[in-house]
Each structure stands twice: as structure tokens, then as C-alpha cells.
């Protein structure tokens, strides 16, 4: 146990943040969805908002903050692409207790062979239980089927106790939970914050803290942008990337603590073993086929960096030299570890040999 955690009633917390913003002069438009945007000749943005009744509104603004969560609705339309680190999914169900019968406990995390379970009490005598597993296991073991999900819950020791005697009160809900970041987090007149910029593994329990911190950094960057600081948005982006790199390091350390299932592919993927020898000779031959396969790759590094790694392998080069040259060109923006992970991925995909 390291430090204290907080149990947050998310609905109340979000409402209190919105109120605090309104008290400081923000105009709240509740229940609206941003469905369109245009850059006007004067440099401002015109946003199209849709309310719950389907009525449309227009809003003119000098700056857009994309806080739409992991779908990064606005940023991806400006050309930003998510770069994924894994394929983690959460498969959750809510359980209901008879009045006053809910267990008084904190969040529970329990590792099993095919992933890990997360259980937490909810307000109003309810609890949520989630199986975190990769897309591959989800497909192979058909975790969307209630009986398969329950059979795995029955194999837990602690989490099943949390909901003993409760009745299921929701369908199984599938939530993407992969760690990812945008290859572009800001541009002229916009930036992405919170999960829209990067997402953390729920094991970290740090998504909300990270989102709040990201909001503070974003506010400083926007103030700098309007005070003619040409570097303000670039600085925000590099701070966010740095934070993501530190998070990846923590994630590697936490997952590698679990050693009970050496044959489980879920845990093998998280042991982050490096199999590439530094002296291995890597080769890349340019071809239309490789270029089109490369464009479809979404893991570990942005497409431009995967392309750079391939180009560094033209004519044949040792893996250690490729990593050193890549890091020199990108000014050490990402760890050597991630460059190696990306090279292993390019080898697996048979782009480099
Ligand atoms: C299974 C799971 C468990 C987690 N457990 C924890 C935990 O224990 N602790 C923790 O700190 N974090 C946890 N997280 C992560 C945490 O939920 C997120 O990091 C956090 O919610 C990010 O906040 P956000 O405001 O950036 O995005 P979100 O909370 O995703 O909010 C985005 C908002 O944008 C709105 N939106 C989307 N599209 C549009 C649009 N077009 N127009 C207008 N609005 C739009 C959405 O409705 C939503 O209200 C967990 C995540 C998962 C998947």
C-alpha cells in the first residue's frame, strides 16, 4: 500500500466542478454535444452544438479545448491520431444490494490468469465489478457472455465476496481501457486535455488526477498562447508526453510484479520482455506493400516515428544503432525502451526483417 486513495462520486464531483466554473464566469451549456466545427476567415472557430431535442446551436470561439475523453472527438478531426500501447478492455456489471446490505469496503483489485478484476462500492447500495482483459482474451473466451464472465468471477477469491448476495442490475458493459496518447495534442487555436490527450491503465487509478493536472497545465498554456508565447502549446504537449512516459515506466513496474501465471498471454504481454538483441541486424526495403501496411499500424509510436525507424534500417543496421539514431533525431522524446518495443512490433508485422 502506497499513500491514500479517494473514493469519488463522479456525478457529484463533475457537477461541483461545473458549478465552480460557472461561479467564476463560465457559461454552462448542459446536455450539448459538439457535432461540427469550422475555421472562420478571422481565425475563430465556429462550433455546431446539438442539444438533447436535436436542436442545433452555433458558437463562435477563439480557442477550443477538446475534453471529450478517449474519443478525442475534435482533435482527431484536426488530424491527430491515437497511438495505442495495448488492447485492454473493461467488461463491467453493476450489482444491487438490499437496503443497507452493501459491504463497507474500499476498491478491490485481484489478479487472475486471464486478467485482473476490479470491484468498488457505488452510492445507493450498489457495487461495480469489472474484468480487465485484452481484446484477444475477450474474443477467445467470449467474455461478453454472462455465463463466461460469471464463471471467471467465481474463480476470484475476494471480488466475488464483494457482490455475494447481491443481484445483477445491469447488462455487461464493455469499456475500452487501453493506454494511448495522441500524436498531436495541440494546434493553432486548440488543444486536447485529460483522456482526450492521453489515457492511463485503470490499474494506475490515476486517470482523474491526471485529467485535473492536465486541465491546470492546459490553462497555463492557453494563457501563454493569448499572451503571444509562441512555445506555450508546444511546451504543454511536451509536458504531457513526459508525464505519459513516466506513467508507462510505472505501468511496466507494476505489471511485472505479478509472476504467478508464466503461461498466460495476458501477463506475458505485460511482462514487457525485450527479445530483440542489440546486435541484431535489421533491414528495411521500401515497397508499396510495406508503405500501405505501415499506414494501418497504430501501436507503440506515431506513424511518422515508425516510418523513421524503418528508414533507419534501410541497407541494414544493428538494432542498438537504430535505437541510438532514432533517439538522437527525436531528442530523446521517448524512452529507448519504447523504441525497442516499436522495433519488435515492426519485426512481428514483418515490415522490417
Ligand atoms: C474501467 C475504467 C476504470 C477506471 N477507474 C479509474 C479510477 O479508479 N480512478 C481514476 O482516477 N480513473 C479511473 N479511470 C479513468 C478515468 O475515468 C478517466 O481518466 C477520466 O474520466 C478522464 O476524465 P476526462 O474528463 O478527461 O474524460 P471523460 O471522463 O471521458 O469525460 C469526457 C466527457 O466528454 C463528453 N463528450 C464526449 N463527446 C462529446 C461531444 N462530441 N461533445 C460534447 N461532449 C462530449 C462525454 O460525455 C464526457 O462527459 C478508469 C477508466 C476506466 C475505463
- Whole-angstrom Cα distance, residue 114 to residue 153? 11
Query: Is it the case that residue 3 has pLDDT exceeding 70?
Result: no
Give residue 267's Cα distance to chain centre.
Answer: 19
Going by C-alpha positions, the residue among 238, 232, 235 that lies closest to residue 63 is 232
- Whole-angstrom Cα distance, residue 154 to residue 137? 17
Residue 2 confidence (pLDDT): 60
Query: Is it the case that residue 170 has pLDDT exceeding 80?
Result: yes
> Integer distance in angstroms from the first to the last C-alpha of the chain?
44
Helix (H) or strand (E) segment spanning residue 60:
strand 56-61
Residue 105 confidence (pLDDT): 74
Residue 333 confidence (pLDDT): 86
Give nearest CA residue, ligand 1 atom 9: 205
Ligand 1 atom closest to the Cα of residue 49 is: 42
- Whole-angstrom Cα distance, residue 172 to residue 153? 13
Residue 271 confidence (pLDDT): 81
- The SS3 call for residue 92 is strand
CATH of domain 10-82+182-254: 3.50.50.60
* DSSP-assigned beta bridge partners for residue 187: 190
* CB of 34 sitting under 6 A from ligand 1: yes
Query: Under 8 Å CB-to-CB from 297, ≥6 apart: which residues?
Result: 303, 306, 345, 346, 349, 351
Q: Which of 22-31, 132-141, 248-257 has the highest mean pLDDT?
A: 132-141
Question: What tens digit of pLDDT does each residue of 309-338 get?
Answer: 999 999 999 999 999 999 999 988 888 999
Ligand 1 atom closest to the Cα of residue 107 is: 8
State pTM to two decimals: 0.93
DSSP strand pairing (186-187 vs 281-282): unpaired
Query: Under 8 Å CB-to-CB from 193, ≥6 apart: which residues?
Result: 65, 66, 67, 211, 214, 215, 218
Question: What tens digit of pLDDT does each residue of 173-212 get?
Answer: 999 999 999 999 999 999 999 999 999 999 998 999 999 9
Mean pLDDT for the chain overall: 93
Residue 156 confidence (pLDDT): 96
Structural contact between residues 271 and 252, judged by C-beta atoms closer than 8 angstroms? no
- DSSP per position, 305-328: HHHHHHHHTBT-EEHHHHHHHHHH
Residue 99 confidence (pLDDT): 84
Question: What tens digit of pLDDT does each residue of 241-274 get?
Answer: 999 999 999 999 999 999 999 999 999 998 877 8
Question: What tens digit of pLDDT does each residue of 281-308 get?
Answer: 999 999 999 999 999 998 999 999 999 9
* CB of 33 sitting under 6 A from ligand 1: yes
Going by C-alpha positions, the residue among 259, 273, 270 that lies closest to residue 133 is 270
* Residue of 9, 14, 65, 68 with the most ligand 1 atoms within 8 Å of its CB, for mutation: 68
C-alpha cell at 180: 494511448
* Residue of 207, 240, 251 with the most ligand 1 atoms within 8 Å of its CB, for mutation: 207
Give nearest CA residue, ligand 1 atom 45: 68
Q: Class of 88-176 per CATH?
A: alpha beta
Residue 20 confidence (pLDDT): 96
Q: What's the alpha-carbon Rg for the chain, to the nearest Å?
A: 23
The CATH 3.50.50.60 portion of the chain extends over: 10-82+182-254
Share of the chain above pLDDT 70, in %: 99
Structural contact between residues 75 and 190, judged by C-beta atoms closer than 8 angstroms? yes
Question: What tens digit of pLDDT does each residue of 35-94 get?
Answer: 999 999 999 999 999 999 999 999 999 999 999 999 999 999 999 999 999 999 999 999
* CB of 67 sitting under 6 A from ligand 1: yes
Query: Under 8 Å CB-to-CB from 187, ≥6 apart: which residues?
Result: 78, 79, 80, 233
Share of the chain above pLDDT 90, in %: 86
How big is the chain, counted in residues?
353
Query: Is it the case that residue 1 has pLDDT exceeding 60?
Result: no
The CATH 3.30.9.100 portion of the chain extends over: 88-176
Rounded to 5 degrees, φ, ψ at 17 are -65, -45
- Whole-angstrom Cα distance, residue 139 to residue 5? 33
Residue 342 confidence (pLDDT): 95
Amino acid at each position: 500500500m502506497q499513500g491514500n486513495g479517494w473514493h469519488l462520486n463522479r456525478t457529484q464531483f463533475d457537477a461541483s466542478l461545473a458549478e465552480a466554473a460557472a461561479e467564476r464566469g463560465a457559461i454552462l451549456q448542459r446536455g450539448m454535444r459538439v457535432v461540427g466545427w469550422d475555421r472562420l476567415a478571422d481565425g475563430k472557430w465556429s462550433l455546431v452544438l446539438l442539444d438533447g431535442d436535436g436542436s442545433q446551436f452555433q458558437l463562435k470561439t477563439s480557442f477550443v479545448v477538446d475534453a471529450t475523453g478517449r474519443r478525442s472527438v475534435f482533435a482527431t478531426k484536426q488530424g491527430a491520431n491515437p497511438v495505442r500501447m495495448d488492447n485492454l478492455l473493461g467488461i463491467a456489471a453493476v450489482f444491487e444490494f438490499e437496503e443497507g446490505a452493501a459491504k463497507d469496503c474500499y476498491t478491490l483489485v485481484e489478479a487472475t490468469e486471464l486478467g485482473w478484476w476490479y470491484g468498488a462500492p457505488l452510492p445507493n447500495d450498489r457495487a461495480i465489478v469489472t474484468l480487465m482483459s485484452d481484446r484477444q482474451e475477450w474474443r477467445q473466451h467470449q467474455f461478453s457472455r454472462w455465463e463466461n464472465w460469471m464463471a471467471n468471477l467465481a474463480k476470484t477469491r475476494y471480488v466475488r465476496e464483494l457482490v455475494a448476495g447481491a443481484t445483477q442490475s445491469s447488462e455487461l458493459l464493455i469499456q475500452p481501457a487501453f493506454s494511448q496518447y495522441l500524436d498531436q495534442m495541440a494546434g493553432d487555436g486548440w488543444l486536447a486535455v485529460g483522456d482526450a490527450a492521453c489515457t492511463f491503465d485503470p490499474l494506475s487509478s490515476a486517470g482523474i488526477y491526471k485529467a485535473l493536472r492536465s486541465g491546470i497545465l492546459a490553462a497555463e498554456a492557453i494563457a501563454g498562447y493569448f499572451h503571444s508565447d509562441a512555445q506555450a502549446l508546444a511546451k504543454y504537449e511536451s509536458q504531457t508526453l513526459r508525464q505519459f512516459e513516466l506513467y508507462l515506466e510505472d505501468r511496466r513496474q507494476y505489471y511485472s510484479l505479478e509472476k504467478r501465471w508464466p503461461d498466460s498471454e495476458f501477463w506475458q504481454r505485460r511482462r514487457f520482455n525485450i527479445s530483440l538483441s542489440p546486435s541484431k541486424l535489421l533491414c528495411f526495403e521500401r515497397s508499396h506493400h510495406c508503405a500501405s501496411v505501415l499506414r494501418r499500424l497504430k501501436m507503440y509510436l506515431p506513424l511518422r516515428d515508425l516510418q523513421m525507424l524503418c528508414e533507419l534500417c534501410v541497407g541494414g543496421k544493428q538494432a542498438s544503432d537504430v535505437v541510438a539514431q532514432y533517439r538522437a533525431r527525436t531528442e530523446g522524446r521517448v524512452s529507448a525502451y519504447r523504441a525497442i518495443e516499436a522495433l519488435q512490433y515492426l519485426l512481428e508485422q514483418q515490415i522490417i526483417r
